[in-house]
Amino acid sequence: MRYEAVIGLEIHVQIDTQTKTFCRCSTAYGDQANSHTCPVCLGLPGALPVLNEEALRRAVIAGVALGCEVSGFSVFARKNYFYPDLPKSYQISQYELPLNVRGAVAIRDEHLHDKRIGITRAHLEEDAGKLMHDEDPRGPSYIDFNRCGVPLLEIVTEPDMRTSEEAYRFLTAVKEIMQYTGVSACSMEKGELRVDVNVSLREHGALELGVKQEIKNMNSFTNVKKAIDYEIIRQTHILRKGGVLSQETRLFDQGKNVTITMRTKEEAHDYRYFPDPDLVPVELDENFIQSMRETIPELPEKKRKRFVAQYGITLYDAETLCASAKLADYFEEAVQGYSQPKKIANWILSEFLKVLNEKNLEADQSPVTPLMLRELFTSMDGGEISGKIAKDVFNTMCSTGKTARSIIDEQGLRQVTDQESIEAVIDEVLSENQTVVLDVKGGKGKAYGFLVGQVMKKTEGRANPRLVNDLLRKRIERG
Amino acid sequence: MKLNEYTLEELRALLRKKEIKTRDIVKDIYAAVVDDSRNAFPLNAYISFDQEKIDLEEQHLQERISNIEETLLSGVPVAIKDIINVKGTFTTCASRILKEYRSPYDATAISFLRNHGGIPAGKLNMDEFAMGSTNESSAFGAVRNPHNREKIPGGSSGGAASAVAGNCAIAALCSDTGGSIRQPASMCGVFGIKPTYGRVSRYGLVAYASSFDQIGPITKTVKDAAILLQAVSGIDERDSTSARVEVPRFEESVGKSIRGMHVGVPEEYFGQGLDDEVRAQVEKGIKVLEDGGAHVKKISLAHTKYAIASYYLIATAEASSNLARFDGIRYGTRFIKTDDINELYRENRSLGFGDEVKRRILLGTFALSSGYYDAYYLKAQKARTLIRKEFEDAFAEVELIVSPVAPSAAWDIGEMVDDPLRMYLSDVYTAPINLAGLPAASVHCGKTQEGMPVGIQLIAHHFHEDTIFRAARVVEGAAS
Amino acid sequence: MKVDKDTIVRVAQLARLKLSEEETLRMQKQLESVLEYVEVLEELDLKEVIPTAHTLGYTNRMRDDEGGESFDVHTVERLAPRWSRGHVVVPRIL
């Protein structure tokens, strides 16, 4: 019996706005608990919601970027349930008439084929507060309502994924899109992207879906992958033994890398959705949707493909470069009018990223501007400095913010290309290492490298390596 | 005459002439309330009357507005139904669950009131969470009708109508969801108007049924209500359902002729179930309009019989959701100490809510629940579309529709407590208006043999309160 | 329509109301009579009718993303029946 895993995701993305979805409280993270509340988000008697236009705009932009149809008429609905972090005991969300429907995001599956993951809907709703528990297990729980009312985009996928890897890639793709469009920074530490995973198994070739298991509130892509892998094993095990699965809600235990049943709070929720009478419907015309579409920059998928075609880099490299819109922009600016973009790409992917990670900077915060980087390369290409020296120069550029040219000048790093002076050094090295010279003549390649190294040492690395090679060989051949 | 016996208009004139101060009026009101409390059957119209706070309000207003005598209200004190947030006062909605809740903010209508020189003075008794037609379901005791203290004042704004009729308030700001301003006004012989849906901001009005609720005045005279309604009307950015329309000077409509006004009398409102004495008084009122030059004709509103069903399904559905926030967690009363969060919810809400509130929450929850949504809530919203359309069509032919306010005059306290359905059915003439969002008022037009007041309901098209004020003044003039 | 006791119990739980045995029976009867009354709506042909989305048909009510006044934390504290460490306190959520 072969089973196939069917995976769907529900992603909650926190939309980046100054104020909350339905009131003017600040959405700022990390401030004093309960300092960003008002009658509306606290659910006081008599309070009323008013929609934040910016939240709507970004939700539309997100929908377009996710390939969705934006609805011309959408309605806010109340999702009714009782929980202490939900002040009104209902969440303002969308139900029958959501903002965005029928979209898709392309990922590359394990065989490197393009696969489209369908998006059923992407709608706008408000977040709940934050619940914390006393360290003493017999102690109470505490509520911070700052997060209450912050705008969320809920993205629901079709059950189109079949492996944990696909889910991981899909999440990465969605995160990129959200960041690229500026809809959300998707900071995982701040909980700006949360995932609920649905996994079920069915016999290979079957059309009906198996019994769904839901794993709630995951905030790490790696954990999502682990949870799915575990679930597949767990469910397969049960089904192979002839067992039956019942629809369950589970949590991922990070410590043990397993999923566990949530303590059943109660029976399945009856949310009693109905249109919120305190809000009015949203009517959007094609002009508005088009104007939102026009604000969307080139998205990662398209950019990656273009980079490969335009700059001759590998898809793998393109993926890393495009992982951040800022990095991709940096790269493009650096290779403006430069004939060997691949070289700069490699540098960015190694030296440049290393520095960014060390200093915890974004590409646009780097002390080395794209122009400065390009200049470094032109120095190398022109033979002014060697690749090895360039690395040192780069580090100095990073720590001082000075240009390559000025550092080269200040430290006198200009490559020695003067044949005479190199020959003089070569003579010196040969006379000091006569036994090695004999080894070289005897055919030992390593000995030769040693001599080259000695010449470079004496010239403090400034001798042009190719010239050294050339002249040294000629000298040895001459005798 | 004591100052509490004057009308708002008269007191405004005295205040403008600086012959009296607000505190003089408040003093007389307070004396009247204290006096009434010594009665064997006190009206019990107020839940709270904090004289110190009212004096402070007056002081703040004087500091804020230098020329208060140029404002619309010039310092007149207005009593507020305890369902409207007035910052610093207890806003209990006549419920145990909010008996300790002190408003940390003002309703927009209250801000507007103050901007126009009005002073919130006292919080009035009501049916718990505005759910009721008799003011018997208050956690603070029933309210009595000043015309006969063994009878109900009507509800849910029973405290307001009773206070105004009993000269324990100059004027009141209340709320109407299915008749809660008009019916008590009718039963107590005073004037009350529910404006067009969206005319007055709902921000700060504790919600019962969001798509029906409106704030409106109950006053001694038509003119008083016109002044007060103008003061609290207007667009509010904090209320998404607030109407973007100009506020007319309603005062100016009072006294205008109704010659040539087209008036419709819907036959369905005069059928079975209407008390004969009420019918007689209402017909008297219609005659007054005719004598005033109005063209009266019969019309048909065939969908009237579906209105109560539609109203109660939608209203209770919305209410069940609106009242879900009352759990004793962030505010209000927490009745028990427990370690179980589920127990906390259930106990708090069960101890905090009265019977009628529980009943409506259950009905509304049921109407929205899985498997029943289509058959009940959705069906009711569809019926509502038909009812509204029917009114639209009627207003293409007439400017004003008249009808009784309630099937009977005030009945005895205790008479209907065990028959909720019968009580719901008594909203038959008022509830349809809320479904359509139309403005409507009750103006006193006569008394029964027993001496109990009867009002006539005047209904106009959206945002045509001016038509109502014109016609109401004519009826008022004849009745007095 | 007939309403059975289990329905009342289920609906009461959905609404977080605790009813005594007596209350449950009473509510059952009263709700039944109301639901029987509302069956009058069955007379209408509502197939083609659009449900009322908003009383007066408004759409697109929004506001800008400008910040406004929030409560001082002390206000939230004063409102809360139980407060500790800057948070509203509730029995432990499992």
Tens of pLDDT along A78-102? Answer: 999 999 999 999 999 999 999 999 9
Average pLDDT value for residue range A194-198: 95
Whether residue C60 lies inside any domain: the answer is no
| Pairing assessment for the beta strands B262-266 and B295-299 based on DSSP bridges | parallel
- Is the torsion defined by CA of B143, B149, B154, B157 positive or negative? negative
Tell me how close the Cα of C6 comes to any Cα of chain B, in angstroms: 12
Q: Which of A236, A262, A291 is the last residue of a domain?
A: A291
Contact B129, B349 (CB under 8 A): no
Question: Confidence band (pLDDT; 50, 70, 90) for A447?
Answer: confident
CB contact under 8 A, A132 and C84: no
Question: Confidence band (pLDDT; 50, 70, 90) for A265?
Answer: very low
Contact residues on chain C for A133, CB-CB shorter than 8 A: 92-93
Q: Candidates 3.60.21.10, 3.40.50.2000, 3.40.50.1820, 3.90.1300.10; correct CATH number of B3-253?
A: 3.90.1300.10
Question: Confidence band (pLDDT; 50, 70, 90) for C28?
Answer: very high
Is a pLDDT exceeding 70 seen at residue A322?
yes
Contact B158, B125 (CB under 8 A): yes
Average pLDDT value for residue range A341-353: 92
The phi, psi pair for A427, rounded to 5°, reads -55, -45
What integer pLDDT is reported at residue A392 of this predicted model? 87
d(CA B168, CA B5): 8
List the beta strands (DSSP E) in A15-67: 51-52
CB contact under 8 A, A89 and B369: no
Is residue B408 annotated as part of the catalytic site, yes or no? Answer: no
Q: From the CB of residue A358, how many other CB atoms can be counted at a distance below 10 Å?
A: 9
The DSSP-derived string for B349-398 is HHHHS-HHHHHHHHHHHHHHSTTTTIIIIIHHHHHHHHHHHHHHHHTTT-
What integer pLDDT is reported at residue A57 of this predicted model? 97
Q: Which of B95, B103, B156, B157 is catalytic?
A: B156
A42 interfaces chain B, CB cutoff of 8 Å? yes
Q: Where are the domains of chain B?
A: 3-253
Listed in sequence order, the residues at least 6 apart from A2 whose beta carbon sits closer than 8 Å to its beta carbon are A203, A204
Question: Confidence band (pLDDT; 50, 70, 90) for A479?
Answer: low
Contact residues on chain B for A45, CB-CB shorter than 8 A: 85, 91, 93, 98, 101, 206-207, 325-326
Neighbours of chain C (3+ CB pairs under 8 A): A, B
Q: Which of B95, B133, B138, B180 is catalytic?
A: B180
Examine the domain organization and report whether A266 and A317 are in the same domain: no
Among A143-147, A411-415, B153-157, B264-268, the least confident range = A411-415
Single pTM value for the model? 0.90
CB contact under 8 A, A90 and B324: yes
Q: Which residue has the tokens 């019969």?
A: B298
Domain that holds residue A356: 300-411
Question: Confidence band (pLDDT; 50, 70, 90) for A264?
Answer: low
What integer pLDDT is reported at residue A267 of this predicted model? 55
Examine the domain organization and report whether A381 and A462 are in the same domain: no
Q: Which of B81, B123, B194, B223 is catalytic?
A: B81
Q: Which residue has the tokens 């001798």?
A: A463
Is residue B253 annotated as part of the catalytic site, yes or no? Answer: no
HSE-up (13 A, CA, CB side) for residue A83? 20
In three state form, how does the secondary structure of A227-273 look?
A: HHHHHHHHHHHHHHCCCCCCCEEEEEECCCCEEEECCCCCCCCCCCC
Tens of pLDDT along A34-71? Answer: 999 999 999 999 999 999 999 999 999 999 999 999 99
Contact B432, B178 (CB under 8 A): no
Listed in sequence order, the residues at least 6 apart from B371 whose beta carbon sits closer than 8 Å to its beta carbon are none
Query: Between these two residues, C24 and A257, which has the higher pLDDT value?
Result: C24
Examine the domain organization and report whether A142 and A73 are in the same domain: yes
Number of domains forming the structure of chain C:
1
Number of domains forming the structure of chain A:
3
Contact B157, B126 (CB under 8 A): yes
What integer pLDDT is reported at residue A443 of this predicted model? 81
Whether residue C50 lies inside any domain: the answer is no
CB contact under 8 A, C15 and B424: no
Q: Which of A291, A326, A353 is the last residue of a domain?
A: A291
* Per-residue b or e along A13-22, where b marks 16 or more CB atoms closer than 10 Å to that residue's CB: bbbbbebbbb
Whether residue C64 lies inside any domain: the answer is no
What integer pLDDT is reported at residue B430 of this predicted model? 97
The amino acid occupying position B203 is Y
Contact residues on chain A for B369, CB-CB shorter than 8 A: 270, 272
B224 alpha-carbon distance from chain centroid: 15
Tell me how close the Cα of A84 comes to any Cα of chain B, in angstroms: 7
Those of residues 87-116 in B touching chain C at CB distance below 8 A are 101-102, 104
Token code pair at residue B362: 């259950």
Examine the domain organization and report whether A222 and A124 are in the same domain: yes
Neighbours of chain B (3+ CB pairs under 8 A): A, C
Is residue B320 annotated as part of the catalytic site, yes or no? Answer: no
What integer pLDDT is reported at residue A390 of this predicted model? 87
Average pLDDT value for residue range A186-195: 92
The amino acid occupying position B34 is V
Q: How far lies B350's CA from each of A187, A265, C8, C17, in Å?
A: 42, 21, 15, 5
pLDDT 10s per residue in chain B (480 long)?
899 999 999 999 999 999 999 999 999 999 999 999 999 999 999 999 999 999 999 999 989 988 898 999 999 999 999 999 999 999 999 999 999 999 999 999 999 999 999 999 999 999 999 999 999 999 999 999 999 999 999 999 999 999 999 999 999 999 999 999 999 999 999 999 999 999 999 999 999 999 999 999 999 999 999 999 999 999 999 999 999 999 999 999 999 999 999 999 999 999 999 999 999 999 999 999 999 999 999 999 999 999 999 999 999 999 999 999 999 999 998 888 888 888 899 999 999 999 999 999 999 999 999 999 999 999 999 999 999 999 999 999 999 999 999 999 999 999 988 888 888 999 999 999 999 999 999 999 999 999 999 999 999 999 999 999 999 999 999 987
List the beta strands (DSSP E) in A29-129: 51-52, 69-70, 73-74, 77-80, 90-93, 100-108, 114-126
Tens of pLDDT along A279-294? Answer: 999 999 999 999 999 9
d(CA C20, CA B347): 12
Domain that holds residue C6: 1-43
Whether residue C63 lies inside any domain: the answer is no
Find the CB nearest C88 among B324, B329, B349.
B329
